[in-house]
Chain A
Amino acid sequence: NAGVTQTPKFRILKIGQSMTLQCTQDMNHNYMYWYRQDPGMGLKLIYYSVGAGITDKGEVPNGYNVSRSTTEDFPLRLELAAPSQTSVYFCASSLQGLLGYTFGSGTRLTVV
């Protein structure tokens, strides 16, 4: 029972580079989310999806893009990496937001 799987675990990017953070879940959850976690700031929602083909912005979407072509996958794209995007990124999924989330183990990204 894998739950939510994120790859990679760690990544160092140079300013201006691009990358995709992968997220897949095997629980057939309709809802999926991307959060970033910074010290003293808590979890901030970047993007979310309520089902395949449907995505919407969260609190801090600038500099990121997402797609949701299948129920299982919800990749997060960084097009032009900036130092402000240095953070730990978490993907999560839920059957209903009301009931709580299942989180992945995170991607620690450093932009230098």
Chain B
Amino acid sequence: TQLLEQSPQFLSIQEGENLTVYCNSSSVFSSLQWYRQEPGEGPVLLVTVVTGGEVKKLKRLTFQFGDARKDSSLHITAAQPGDTGLYLCAGTHSGGYQKVTFGIGTKLQVIP
């Protein structure tokens, strides 16, 4: 079974703090996605990274794909209450129908 491990599983921080969450695997992925899911809703795609070492920025969020395409990180600068949610990473395997493996997620709470 190919696994994507996310850490930490839970994170509670004060508004204005910085944080980093991690997504690790022993498998090589063709691409990796990050999603944010709010209670009662489906996951919403934040970013897709494709190239090893790639860095993408989305306002205060910075996403990095590891050089070997086995891991990724999400860094949030100056967290806001609106960042609260479940952050999921998902890795796409090459070949076939491009099977996707999801991590269990990091549950982030930003306290005002």
Answer whether residue B26 sits at the interface, using C-beta atoms and an 8 A cutoff. no
Q: Are B42 and A96 in contact (CB under 8 A)?
A: no
Chain B residues near A101: list those with CB within 8 A: 33, 43, 45, 90, 100
Number of chain B interface residues as a range: 20 to 34
Residues of chain A with a CB closer than 8 A to B41's CB: 105-106
Taking a contact as CB atoms under 8 Å apart, the answer to whether A98 and B45 are in contact is: no
Contacting residues, chain B, for A42 (C-beta < 8 A): 88, 102-105
| Interface size, chain A (Cβ < 8 Å) | 23
Q: Does B50 have its Cβ within 8 Å of any Cβ on chain A?
A: yes
Q: What string of 1s and 0s marks CB contacts (under 8 Å) between A74-104 and chain B?
A: 0000000000000000101000111111111
Say yes or no for A34: interface residue by CB 8 A criterion. Answer: no
Q: What's the minimum C-beta distance from A12 to chain B, rounded to whole angstroms?
A: 16
Contact for B104 among A41, A98, A100, CB less than 8 A: A41
Q: What does the 1/0 interface line of B44-70 toward A look like (CB < 8 Å)?
A: 110010100000000000000000000
Query: Are B40 and A106 touching (Cβ within 8 A)?
Result: yes
Chain A residues near B (Cβ < 8 Å): 4, 31, 40-43, 45, 48, 50, 56, 90, 92, 96-106
B binding-site residues for A, Cβ under 8 Å: 30-31, 33, 35, 40-45, 48, 50, 88, 90, 92, 97-100, 102-105
- What are 13 pairs between A and B in contact, CB < 8 Å? A31-B97, A42-B102, A42-B105, A45-B100, A98-B48, A98-B50, A98-B92, A100-B31, A103-B43, A103-B44, A105-B40, A105-B41, A106-B41
